[in-house]
Amino acid sequence: EVLVLESGGGLVQPGGSLRLSCAASGFTFSSYVMSWVRQAPGKGLEWVSIISDSGGTTYYADSVKGRFTISRDNSKNTMYLQMNSLRAEDTAIYYCAKVEDYYVSPNKGYFDYWGQGTLVTVSS
């Protein structure tokens, strides 16, 4: 059974930092692209970042570029999101998602498995 489990959320002050983790199981983690998607309270889904299977290629939404860093440790089947210079507008549930078919062109990728999410609250 494929499982992805986020952790690391919590309350942080504006300007602070937080690192989220996503532990994966039930599939060959090192063979799949992984992504972070967030959802502000009462709002829609927002794509945040994506990382290649090797970890060598990453992309970010403009809203987090320069502040967030995505990474992965394939030996631990875990993906991370380092969030710095946090703002109130970063308050959201952060979901980890496995991506299928990302490399096919044009991009056929889709999110086939999602975690339950971890809540990040940025407030003083």
Partner 1 sequence: SYELTQPPSVSVSPGQTASITCSGDKLGNKYASWYRQKPGQSPVVVIYQDTKRPSGIPERFSGSNSGNTATLTIRGTQAMDEADYYCQAWDSSTGVFGGGTKLTVL
Would you say 30 or 46 has its CB closer to partner 1?
46
Q: Is 56 in the site for partner 1 (CB under 8 A)?
A: no
Q: Which CB atom, from 44 or from 56, has the smaller least distance to partner 1? A: 44
To the nearest whole angstrom, how small is the minimum distance from the Cβ of residue 8 to partner 1? 17
Exposed e or buried b for every residue in 96-118, given b needs 16+ CB within 10 A?
bbbbeebeeeeeeeebebebebb
Minimum CB separation from partner 1 for residue 107, in Å? 4
Verify binding: residue 54, partner 1, rule CB under 8 A.
Answer: no
Contacts of 15 (CB under 8 A, 6+ apart): 85, 86
Q: Is 83 in the site for partner 1 (CB under 8 A)?
A: no
Q: Do the beta carbons of residue 106 and residue 97 sit within 8 Å?
A: no
* CA separation for the pair 101, 9 (Å, rounded): 29
In the complex, minimum distance from the CB of residue 22 to partner 1, in angstroms, rounded to a whole number:
13
Q: Across the chain, which distance is largest between two alpha carbons, in Å?
A: 44
Position 27 contacts partner 1 (CB under 8 A): no
Minimal distance, residue 95 CB to partner 1, in Å: 6
Binding site for partner 1 (CB under 8 A): 35, 37, 44-47, 50, 59-62, 95, 100-101, 106-112, 114-117
